[in-house]
Amino acid sequence: MPKPLTVMWFRQDLRLRDNPALLAACAAGSVLPVYILDDKHAGDWPMGAASRWWLQQSLIELDKSLKNKLWVLQGDPLELLPTLMQEQGATHINWNRCYEPWRIQRDKKLQASLTDSGFEVASYNGSLLWEPWTNLKGDQTPYKVFTPFYKNARANLPPPELPEPAPRSVPLASCEQAADKIDKLALTPEIQWYDGMAECWQPGENGAGDKLSQFLNNGIQSYKSGRDFPASQSVSRLSPHLHYGEISPRQVWHAAQAESGDTRLEGQIEHYHRELAWRDFSYSLLYHFPNLTKQNMNPRFDAFPWRQDDKLLKAWQCGATGYPLVDAGMRELWQTGYMHNRVRMVVGSFLVKNLMHHWQDGARWFWDCLVDADLPNNTCSWQWVAGCGADAAPYFRIFNPITQSSKFDPDGDYIKQFVPELAKLPAKYLHDPHSAPANVLDAAGVKLGETYPEPVVDLKQSREAALDAYQQIKVS
């Protein structure tokens, strides 16, 4: 009896190692791998420009690892997959589960349709440490605070499973598509605005493995404290690789755990494990509260007096606010498709507190510019920094960009890299050039309002205005 042909539908799992859906497909018989660019069902959240650039490179790498036999399609999976399966004689389809609301709705419809048509459908967990319905409170409701979410997972759930190696061989079906199949997706424009990203990143499974090795060799030793300093190399920068599934969180979790033989690293590894679990927490929140992308988790913020000032928003987007740490972060984002986590909090706070802009303005800009744009993490992080989301502190967080800069970039190395027009200023004034005497500015070649902008808002006044607004919705 001939073995079945299984369609392996790649989505956010663009790898061969530790890919449960792929392993099951290989064990069953021949495999027809396919990727579908689905902009139809994404609604308000089709992939942004930086994400599309990354996706193109990642698909190229995946296709190479599959001996150029990856099918690449564009359109509605509900129409494309049944047609492909019928034409190619496939009887089974496997995929790893996705958790964004629009993908869940689409996949449920597709599974029902395929099953009704006589196809065998199987799905797996290839993206999370603990799936959203497994880590619940005793009353079976979801956690809204991270610490008990994490403690319950560690105490009462099985630890993340050990990652599986890549299949020894993938019995691939033939692919009849032309060599330019990925180019036909037109993921990147003719204008090569993405050169800076290409210099910083190596998308694909091999790039993910290299990035993990770099972190374990050079970063995890100082992760707990060093992760707050944007000029250091203490963070993993694995977020885009995790988002596209070029590496699984189980691989990362256990690779870090393997370093625990050195007792000096136990605290560092535990802290890193917590950060990996934060990713699961965001996925759990969006799974259980699917309207988070457009609704405040704390409904009191529905009455918050957000401002709409296109000039201020543009200054923030372009890194021209007059506050060096904010400007450095926004320019890093534009140039590299990435921003250090500490700086993300600072620029986010500046937008929603000092400029009083709605957090969704920031979420949409990040969505377009980040190579690690991830709907659960992006949404929950912006709601957190705005104060309207889960795990909010009992006060209105407002990060002062000058004091944050002085504390976490004391020598100004990060600022000098991305705001080079200030590089000749002494460190004393680098964090707040507007406090520098005229002769110091002249010696550094800085002309406020010309070579570097004046502050777009006053920190003290804008902070007081935000606190006043918060008090109004707090007592209402």
Beta strands in 216-314 (DSSP E): none
Catalytic option among 61, 382, 384, 400: 382
Catalytic option among 316, 359, 365, 384: 359
Q: Is the dihedral of CA 141, 146, 147, 153 positive or negative?
A: positive
With residue 96 as reference, give the H or E element that holds it.
strand 92-96
| Catalytic site includes residue 359 | yes
How far apart, in whole angstroms, are the C-alpha atoms of residue 120 and residue 128? Answer: 24
> Taking Cα atoms as reference points, which of 140, 128, 135 lies closest to residue 99?
128
Q: How far is CA 114 from the centre of its chain?
A: 31
Residue 98 burial by Cβ neighbours in a 10 Å radius (0-12, 13-18, 19+): buried
| Catalytic site includes residue 68 | no
The amino acid at 395: Y
With residue 37 as reference, give the H or E element that holds it.
strand 30-37
**355: Cβ contacts below 8 Å, ≥ 6 apart:** 307, 309, 312, 313, 316, 456, 457, 462
33 forms beta bridges with: 8
Catalytic option among 131, 161, 164, 275: 275
**338: Cβ contacts below 8 Å, ≥ 6 apart:** 200, 201, 237, 240, 332, 370, 371, 372
| Catalytic site includes residue 275 | yes
| Catalytic site includes residue 133 | no
Nearest 5°: the CA angle 306, 310, 314 is: 115
**b/e sequence 56-81, b meaning 16+ C-beta within 10 Å:** bbbbebbbebbeebbbbbbeebbebb
The amino acid at 295: Q
Backbone angles phi, psi at 144, to 5 degrees: -115, 0
**DSSP tag of 351:** I
DSSP string, 352-409: IIIS-B-HHHHHHHHHHH-TT--HHHHHHHHHHHHTSSTT--SS-----HHHHHHHHS
With residue 22 as reference, give the H or E element that holds it.
helix 20-28
The pairing of strands 71-74 and 30-37 is: parallel
How far apart, in whole angstroms, are the C-alpha atoms of residue 13 and residue 365? Answer: 25
How far apart, in whole angstroms, are the C-alpha atoms of residue 399 and residue 394? Answer: 15
448: tokens are 């406020």
CA atoms within 13 A of residue 460's CA, in its CB half-sphere = 0
Query: What amino acid positions are annotated as catalytic residues?
Result: 275, 278, 306, 341, 359, 382
